[in-house]
Amino acid sequence: MLFAKLSASATTPALLLMAAIFAASAWVMPAWLAFLLTLAFSKALVVLGVVIQMRAGLVSFGQALFYCVGGYGVGLASQYLGVSDAFALLALGTLAAIVLALICGWLLTRYRDIFYAMLTLALSMILYGILVKSSALGSTDGFNVSPPSFLGWVPEGDAIKRTLYLLTVGVSAIVALGFHSFMVSGLGRVTEAVRENEIRVEYLGLSPQRMLFANYVLAAGLSALGGGLTAMASGHIDPDMAFWTTSGEFVFIAILGGTGHVAAPFIGAIVFSVIRTFAIQEAPNTWQMTLGVILLALVLFLPKGLWSLVERSKKREASA
Amino acid sequence: MKSKLRISHHTLRLSVIAATLVLSTTMSTSANAADNGKYRIGVVTFLSGAAAGPFGVPAANSARLIVEALNNGKVPAPYAKKGINGLEIEMVLLDENGGATKQTEEFRNLVQRQKVDAVIGYISSGDCLAIAPAAEELGVPTIFFDCGTSKVFEVVKNPKFLFRTGLDAVVDNIAAARYVAETRPNIKTIAGIEQNYSWGQESWADFSQAFGRIKPEIKVVSEQWPKLGQGQYGAEISALSVANPDLIHSSFWGGDMEALMLQGGARGLFDKKTVVLTGGETGMEHFKGQVANGTILGGRGPFGAFSPKNALNDWFRPAFVAQFKESPTYPAYKMAQAILGLKSAAEKSAKPGVMPSTDQVIQGLAGLSYEAPSGTVKMARSNGHQAVQSISFGEYQFDAKSGKATLSNVKTYAGECVMPPDGTVNADWIKAGFPGAKCN
Amino acid sequence: MTTLIAILIDGAIYASWLFLVAAGMTIIYGVMRVLNMAHGSFYAIGAYSAASLVSWYFSSDQGNPYWSLLILPACAIVAGAIIGLFIEQGLLRFLHGRDEILMVIVTYALMLILEDATKLIWGVNPYFAYQPYKLLGQTGFGEHLRFANYDLMLIGIAIVIGLVAWAALNRTNKGRLLRAVIHDREIAIAMGVNVNAMFAATFVIGAILGALAGALTAPAISVSPGIGVEVIVLAFAVIVIGGLGSIGGAAAGALLVGLARSFAVHIAPEIELFVIYGVMFLVLAIRPQGLFGQTLARRI
């Protein structure tokens, strides 16, 4: 039933096609562009975590917590446990984040709205404080992550960054497909219902708190994946990964892309990276203001993000 | 507010992505490859955030001054040749703000998209540690001009492309410990107030260990660790007052340092105590009468108010004051010597008028000894990739009538006296009693 | 013993500062349901204007230095009113009644814009206005402990503002109308209360309070880029602990956090970084809406 639904929609083949195009262009695109896209896609995974919670009606201002846990998980495992395989590193980082989410989510999902946002922010700032205080972990300097191996194969030279790029594209594709099927599944649909009216969902016999908890843990895992991939690509982790302005960036991209479709965070992340690099280059003293103006314009005129541009044309097609 | 799109969503999606790629490629071609006959250097320093005022902006100003003067042949000998090796210098200035991950991205952009011939920059230790492996990987001459972390040449053990023309921060506090031991023999108790991050943590560790080694009988009576950027130190000042140490050490910088001196001074914290500010030289023009005479200040080397009298300094200092209306502090000096070092290295073996190759630059700079406004810079450690210079400490004196701040009782410590040998961990060298130190 | 006195007085001073910073934010939230992330920027603008004006005053040697103490609040009122009106009338007026989280994001964007705006106007170099700080002298406790009377004055100012706010809300007609609007906006509109004017006035008052906190702090610090961003998270924590929208809550929250932090710095420095979040978690775990927050009925 699920497969029938998946193949019926145009999304799955489109996603696979896009993934293939991005992967194939790894050999032709300039190295700096591949690096930009690697970081953008990893960020998009974290943003997907924010989007998952937004669809449930909760805005997380502390998603950087799991982003940081994923990154530090990869870094610490690589440095102190001697793990060098990329997949093992990602798995360890994600596992650490999921365990943390299981503990925190139980408390956090009892709150809504502003309190949820503030508590998630507080948690991420607590982690920031712990990391900054710890000179054993390098405090604000953080430490470097050596390039990983891939199931025994160690790439050399250019191939290092290219393989990481391909890994990121691959993980993003799998996550995107998975999230798409999640969105159309039972849990996904009920989550949106929770956003609309929680009490009625209770009356239907379901537990909104359990739904939100599941969403929270799922979001945490995805964010940790993003953090781990970033750590491996940039080769460096530091406590800034947990700072609240990092979370603010993720929320910005979530709004930029919109919550309507799984591709939206990816498009948002790419556009954001391009805008930011461009803004820093052209207006080095006012790039924050540029971002603020863009965010304001989006919120006022395009509240459902860039994806709403696509949806409007889709609706027009359908009605035509 | 309603948009009038009439294209199918497949096409729209593909065109969004195509547009992104096109935009990016136009951005890449808009910054030409450095095949335009100019020597392109990327300069990265703080242009926004708390570190901009005290460090980043003086450094950026110094870079602008030096590059312009070099291009016009105005710098005194031995740098009279135009630009670098006769080629005009083109500078790309970037903001170091935004975190280490973003800086690695921008570094790769600088090298791969904007095709710079060399990169000079980085004040934050975190950024330096993140960039160091990337510099070696991308094979571009990279000069760290300011960051002090001792870990740079641990992270990159056999540097080829990476250089540091500034000093390792460990010299700040070993020299400070020696200065205090020599000038204030009656100190029995010490306390530290440091910003709670790697810079503050390492500074205090170096100082308390070094001073404790030189004078084992002293006691640490208080350690205060406010957040970086906290700005208000009411509780910390109270705690220090109650502990009443003979000496207060602080590695504070920028706004935090000035706030601490102001608040502490207003509450009499520093009365009858010795105060050591390892980064105090940057504040000399602002302190005025707020800071007591006799406060011990450091400039992280022979920079700023500690700089010697030589032909280059005689040109540099007035030129800087004339253009930027304030005296050059240590970041300005450090940036100047980074650029002059690059120029020296490039011109050592390259034929005049020809673009120096990367190999010529890195071979020229390794082990080089060259002149700067701060004196002679010897690239003598870490296989010729780390600079060695002396470091000075002195006491602040403010003359209320003339409004001028000067330094008295200046003592200078040779690099060989306060730097651990290659491959030795700071803490071990200190604990062993500084074996092999050549002090005068 | 001296340590105990130090803890109490440090706690009170820090609590007063927190209260001054948080009061404006909690008023704005209580009345307009807007969690103003740009509040830190009001603080920064207040600090910068005060610092500029005070250093001008002293550099041109205008006269009695004690006037500088009046310049500080005057600056704050003018700066706060201008920027508050500008934002409220120029932007927020069109967004009344929108989703709360949306307003958080709008004010976050405003914060980004104002951060760079202050940098453009005042530059990146630090400003100083230290003369008023030393003006009032010191008070000593025991052999070594001394406090600047300026800081002790802040405690007085915080108490006065708290009392004035309480009196305004509970003893004046306008205050009663405001409380009605806080309690139920729809019915207030239906009863003919000019809610839009109340919103504008509230936002301006909140901005003035934020600017006042900055202006009063300016003499003690070096006013440089980024001071606004630092206070936002602190202010949030305080008003969440105290209960969103409640002035009494802001005072209670400030006192709690102030004393806890002071205790941590003197006795238990390892927990100092977490003390504010720890208190927040504790309070919210026991009383999810904060100490003095209203329990809202869930609407079906």
Q: Which residue of B has its CA nearest to A22?
A: B17
> Among partner residues C117, C281, C288, which is closest to A289 by beta-carbon distance?
C117
CB of A205 within 8 Å of a chain B CB? The answer is: no
In a domain, C294, yes or no: no
User: By the CB < 8 Å criterion, does B363 face chain A?
Assistant: no
Q: Measured between beta carbons, which residues in chain C are less than 8 angstroms from residue B254?
A: 126, 222, 224
Task: With respect to residue C47, please indicate whether it lies within any of the assigned structural domains.
Answer: yes
Residue C32 touches partner A, C-beta closer than 8 Å: no
- In this structure, how many other beta carbons lie within 10 angstroms of the beta carbon of residue A103? 10
In a domain, A270, yes or no: no
Q: Which residues contact B423 (CB under 8 A, 6 or more apart)?
A: none
Of B225, B239, B267, which has the smallest distance from its Cβ to C148's Cβ?
A: B267
Cβ pair C223, B232 in contact under 8 A? no
Contact between A299 and C109 under an 8 Å Cβ cutoff? The reply is yes
Q: Does A104 reside within a domain?
A: yes
pLDDT value, residue C215: 94
d(CA A254, CA A268): 7
Residue B381 per-residue DSSP state: E
Q: Which of the four pLDDT bands, split at 50, 70 and 90, describes residue B376?
A: very high
- Give the single-character DSSP code of B423: T
Total domains present in chain A: 1
Report the alpha-carbon distance of residue B248 to residue B208 in Å, rounded. Answer: 11
What are the Cα distances from residue C196, in Å, to A87, B12, C31, C32, C81?
Answer: 57, 42, 11, 10, 17
The domain that holds C136 is classified in CATH as 1.10.3470
Question: C278 at the B interface (CB within 8 A)?
Answer: no
> Does residue A256 belong to any structural domain of this protein?
no
Residue A238 and residue B6: Cβ atoms within 8 Å?
no
Structure tokens at A160: 């290092």
Touching partners of A (3+ C-beta pairs < 8 Å): B, C
Segments forming the whole domain that contains residue C98: 2-286
Q: Residue C293 domain-assigned?
A: no
How many Å separate Cα A60 from the centre of its chain?
A: 12
Tell me, yes or no, whether C131 lies in a domain. Answer: yes
Say how many CB pairs under 8 Å bridge A and B.
141
Which of C113, C125, C295 would best serve as a mutation to test chain A binding (most A beta carbons within 10 A)?
C113
Which chains have 3 or more CB–CB distances shorter than 8 Å to chain C?
A, B
Task: Categorize the per-residue pLDDT at B5 as very low, low, confident or very high, splitting at 50, 70 and 90.
Answer: very low
Q: Provide DSSP, B165-186.
A: -SPPTHHHHHHHHHHHHHH-TT
CB count within 10 Å of CB C59 equals: 8
* CA torsion angle B163 B121 B103 A239 (round to 10): 80
Q: Which domains does chain B have, with CATH numbers?
A: 39-167+307-388 (3.40.50.2300), 170-299+390-431 (3.40.50.2300)
Cβ neighbours of residue A195 closer than 8 Å, sequence gap 6 or more: A55, A56, A57
pLDDT at site B10: 54
Angle between helices A113-133 and A244-257 (to 10 degrees): 140
3 state DSSP class of A301: helix
Q: Is C113 among the domain residues?
A: yes
Mutate to test the interface with C, among A59, A198, A245, A296 (most CBs of C within 10 A): A296
Q: Which residues of B touch C (CB under 8 A)?
A: 47-50, 52-54, 57, 196, 223-225, 227, 229-232, 234-236, 238-239, 241-242, 244, 254-256, 258-259, 262-263, 265-269, 286, 290
pLDDT at B1: 40
Residue C95 has pLDDT above 90, yes or no: no
As a whole number, the mean pLDDT across chain C is: 88
Q: Is the Cβ pair A115, C240 closer than 8 Å? A: yes
Q: Domains in chain C: how many in total?
A: 1
Among A14, A135, A314, select the one facing B201 at the smallest CB separation. Answer: A135
Percent helix, strand, coil in chain A, to 5, is 80, 0, 20
Q: Which residue among A107, A244, A296 sits closest to C233, beta carbon to beta carbon?
A: A244
Q: Is the pLDDT of residue C268 over 80?
A: yes
Task: Please tell me the distance from the alpha carbon of residue C190 to that of residue B344, in angstroms, as a whole number.
Answer: 79
Q: Is A61 inside any structural domain?
A: yes
| Cα(A78)–Cα(A76) distance, integer angstroms | 5
Best of A140, A266, A300 to substitute, by most chain B Cβ atoms within 10 angstroms, is A140
Rounded to the nearest angstrom, the minimum Cα separation between B106 and chain C is 21
Of how many residues is chain A composed?
320
The Cα B273–Cα C118 span in angstroms is 38
Phi then psi for residue C128, to 5 deg, are -130, 145
pLDDT tens per residue across all 320 residues of chain A: 444 444 446 778 888 888 898 888 888 888 888 998 999 999 999 999 999 999 888 889 999 999 999 999 999 999 888 888 999 999 999 999 999 999 999 888 888 877 888 889 889 988 998 998 888 888 888 888 988 888 888 888 788 889 999 999 999 999 999 988 888 888 888 888 888 888 899 999 988 889 899 999 999 999 999 999 999 999 999 999 999 889 989 998 998 888 888 888 999 999 888 888 777 777 777 888 888 898 888 888 877 777 776 666 667 666 65
Residue A291 covered by a domain: no
Average pLDDT over residues B336-360: 91
Mean pLDDT within B386-399:
94
Residue C269 within any structural domain of the chain? yes
Nearest CA-CA distance, residue B251 and chain A, Å: 16
Per-residue confidence (pLDDT) for residue C81, from 0 to 100: 95
Tokens representing C252?
């209670």
Q: Look up residue C204 and give its two tokens.
A: 């301006």
Query: CB neighbours (10 Å) of residue B11?
Result: 10
Per-residue pLDDT reduced to its tens digit, C24-42: 999 998 888 888 999 999 9
Contact present, B266 and B294 (Cβ < 8 Å): no
Of B13, B99, B225, the CB nearest to A240: B99
User: For residue C6, which residues of chain B lie inside 8 Å, CB to CB?
Assistant: 235, 238-239, 241-242
What local confidence, expressed as pLDDT, does residue A313 receive? Answer: 65
Residue B171 is predicted with a pLDDT of 93
Q: What is the pLDDT of residues B108-164, one digit of tens each?
A: 989 998 899 999 999 999 999 999 999 999 999 999 999 999 889 988 989 999 999
Contact of B357 with chain A, judged by CB distance below 8 Å, is answered with: no
Question: Domain residues for A107?
Answer: 2-243
In a domain, C135, yes or no: yes
Q: Does C277 touch chain A if contact means CB atoms closer than 8 Å?
A: yes
Looking at residue A4, its pLDDT comes to 46
- Segment B291-306 mean pLDDT: 92
Q: What pLDDT score does B2 carry?
A: 42
Alpha carbon distance C285, B137 (integer Å):
50
Question: Model confidence at B17, in pLDDT bands (50, 70, 90)?
Answer: low
Contact A288 C115 (CB under 8 A): yes
Worst-scoring range by mean pLDDT, B198-212, B217-231, C196-210, C229-243? C229-243
Q: Which of A268-282, B211-225, C124-138, C180-194 has the highest mean pLDDT?
A: B211-225
C-beta atoms of C288 and A110 within 8 A: yes
Is C229 within 8 Å of chain A by CB? yes
Q: Is residue A302 part of a domain?
A: no
Residue C128 resides in a domain: yes
Q: Does C53 touch chain B (CB under 8 A)?
A: no
Pairing outcome for strands A236-237 and B219-224: unpaired
Q: What is the mean pLDDT of residues B21-41?
A: 62
